[in-house]
Amino acid sequence: AAQAVLVVRAVGLSAERKARLSVISRQKQELRSARLRMLAAADVEQRRLERDLADGPLRHLEAISAELPRLPARPAMLADLRRHADAAIEGLRDLARGVYPPVLRDSGLVPALEARYRHSAAPVTVHGAIGDGRLPQETELTAYLATCDAVAAALSGAASSITVELTRTTGTLAVTVRDDGEPVDNARRADLQIASDRTVAAGGRFQLEGAPGNGCGSVLWLSLPVRLGRPEP
């Protein structure tokens, strides 16, 4: 009789454990879905901002710039006004490109990163081995934004040389960013928190470490599932 009681109790505990595991699994899936919805909403907002910049301030500044030569004023004053207007236009264009650069949409991740850092304050070398086919748009955008954050953090850390390596294997995109700037500290990690959160929300992995050897610089490594939201095993 005692043995039968133990068996019944064990069966009950097993069923309870399975029920709890089922609840945990469902909660994890709900959290992952919520994260993906947040990413999608952020992307929609970024594109809305890009359109608003193009349809609003940029259009008005371009109209002003076109009309300036017709004003009856001193040539030096007109030249000064034109210079300020052109600077504002270029600044807004840079902002719009930073939100969702057309080259990323049209040509892909590697060309977008190369274009972004063609005139960087410190040399940024981009090596890409991701094949000829395009990655999913969400994967490209997540990798692009995280890489830009990593490069910006490296530049703020006085890096004089930065290398970005992209590789694609079956089902995974890996990005490695190396720099020779200041050692990794809490401020650097804080600067990259958004990039880390975005990568993890997309089902990927994110790791920042100090460069081996003399302790200067950093190595950032992130991986993303090519099918967004599907965590690596």
Q: Residues near 93 by Cβ (< 8 Å), separated by ≥ 6?
A: 58
> Does residue 200 surpass a pLDDT of 60?
yes
- pLDDT band at residue 131 using 50, 70 and 90 as cut-offs: confident
Please tell me the predicted confidence (pLDDT) of residue 232. Answer: 41
Average pLDDT over residues 65-75: 73
> Does residue 8 surpass a pLDDT of 50?
yes
Cβ atoms 162, 149 nearer than 8 A: no
Residue-wise burial string across 47-68, b where 16 or more C-beta atoms lie within 10 A, e elsewhere? eeebeebeeebbeebeeebeeb
Average pLDDT over residues 100-107: 84
> Does residue 31 surpass a pLDDT of 90?
no
Cβ atoms 129, 167 nearer than 8 A: yes
Q: Could you tell me the pTM of the whole model?
A: 0.65
Instruction: Please report, rounded to a whole number, the percentage of residues in the chain having pLDDT higher than 70.
Output: 77
Three-state DSSP at 129 gives strand
Please tell me the predicted confidence (pLDDT) of residue 214. Answer: 56
Please tell me the predicted confidence (pLDDT) of residue 7. Answer: 65
> Does residue 153 surpass a pLDDT of 80?
yes
Q: Which of 97, 136, 135, 133 is nearest to 116 (CA)?
A: 97
The C-alpha angle with vertex 86 and arms to 94 and 63, in degrees rounded to 5, equals 105
Average pLDDT over residues 58-79: 74
